[in-house]
Amino acid sequence: MRIETAEHLEAFRTELRAFIAQHSPGTKHHTGVRAPADDLVPAIRSFTAALFDAGYLGADWPEEHGGRGAAYDSREAFVVAEEIALARTWAPIGAFQLAAPALIDFGTDEQRAHFLPRIRNAEDIWCQLFSEPGAGSDLASLKTRARLAGDHWVIDGQKVWTTNGQLADVGYLLARTDPDAPKHKGITAFALDMRTPGVDVRPLREITGSSDFNEVFLDSVRIPVDRVIGEVNNGWRIANSSLAHERSGVASGSVELVAQLQNLVELASGDAGEAARDRLGRLAVHVHVTDAMSKAVQSHMLAGTDDASDAPLVKIFFSETNLAMTELGIELQGAGGIAAEGDADVAQDGWWQDAFLYARAYTIAGGANEVLKNVVAERALGMPR
């Protein structure tokens, strides 16, 4: 593992930290990938646009679209993710990190000219319309259909687990355009205007009390043919190419655990007991192992030597460590652990209660841990299905 702390990267980090302090939309009070309140969205859009303008986001884009070309150091993306997490502020919301590479690599000149500036100035928030009720971990089983009718595609189906769908302007949609083709072959990618008639976004109220995910119903939704991204029936390749670009997130999870560990230490500083402190010590080891794994995967990505096990193993280890930490955070409060966020005298403003309720989601989102363990076994270790 070699993540160099080059002088220019440390200068970059210092400059970025000051920039975030100046432009931050405020403190994020809950852990996880959460949807902001409506009144906070304008400030997050402004923050996103400022990050793009300053070159902290989109630096890896082609120069003609605002990137820095050969001057870009790919290590910077991990620094940006880490510093936003350390500042406990809002990361830019939406699926632009998936949509932009799809447009850059596969979109038409007209699509790039229209959408990329609107991503940079945060005029458009994107959402990811991939998962369905029967096609989550097995995404290629998606059933949403698209049929060609003149100069439009007509879409019918349902998506679910759409993060920030209630705030999105554009959806990065996968739909089946050839029902007779093998399941990986007959899928097409689209850019969907979320204000199109027939798009029905329904927020899902979660156990935390918030609505971060949505289900999206598509009833005879018409998408112009010039909003197909790439070639018809090539959507599986485009989606996988996009997902390969979504790399910097591996940096932020371990940073979140390190910050969370300090909260747990403060909570255990009273009459926690020897057994609780022993568990805390073991969890501290797991936190630092997760951070080391994250740094190793970053190193592999930068060197082009990452394999099928890298990101899944970090995600599995992170999510299980996170869950164990939140369980201890609740137990350390004794009877107070059953209090809810907002109750009088609840420890650390109820942060642990919300984190505990959210923690199980991390073991499912981005691929359920059970599925990812199969990925490691089959694709990395060559074991039989």
Instruction: Return the closest-CA partner of residue 190 out of 178, 170, 174.
Output: 174
Contact indicator for 173, 93 with CB cutoff of 8 Å: no
User: What is the SS3 assignment for 231?
Assistant: coil
User: What is the SS3 assignment for 314?
Assistant: helix
Q: What is residue 128's DSSP assignment?
A: E
CA dihedral sign, ordered 371, 85, 333, 346: negative
Domain 247-380 of CATH type 1.20.140.10: yes
Q: Supply φ then ψ for residue 180, to 5 degrees.
A: -90, -10
0.85 cut: is pTM over it?
yes
Q: What is the pLDDT of residues 235-245, one digit of tens each?
A: 999 998 887 66
Task: Report the alpha-carbon distance of residue 45 to residue 122 in Å, rounded.
Answer: 5
Q: What is the mean pLDDT of residues 375-384?
A: 92
Q: Which of 246, 320, 327, 331 is catalytic?
A: 246
CB atoms within 10 A of CB 61: 22
Q: Tell me how long the chain is.
A: 385
CATH of domain 126-234: 2.40.110.10
Instruction: Return the closest-CA partner of residue 131 out of 371, 312, 374, 354.
Output: 371
Q: What is the pLDDT of residues 89-146, one digit of tens each?
A: 999 999 999 999 999 999 999 999 999 999 999 999 999 999 999 998 788 999 999 9
Domain ranges of the chain: 7-93, 126-234, 247-380
Residue 64 exposure: Cα atoms within 13 Å on the Cβ side: 4
Mean pLDDT over each residue of the chain, to the nearest integer: 91
Q: What is the pLDDT of residues 354-366, one digit of tens each?
A: 999 999 999 988 7
341 is catalytic: no
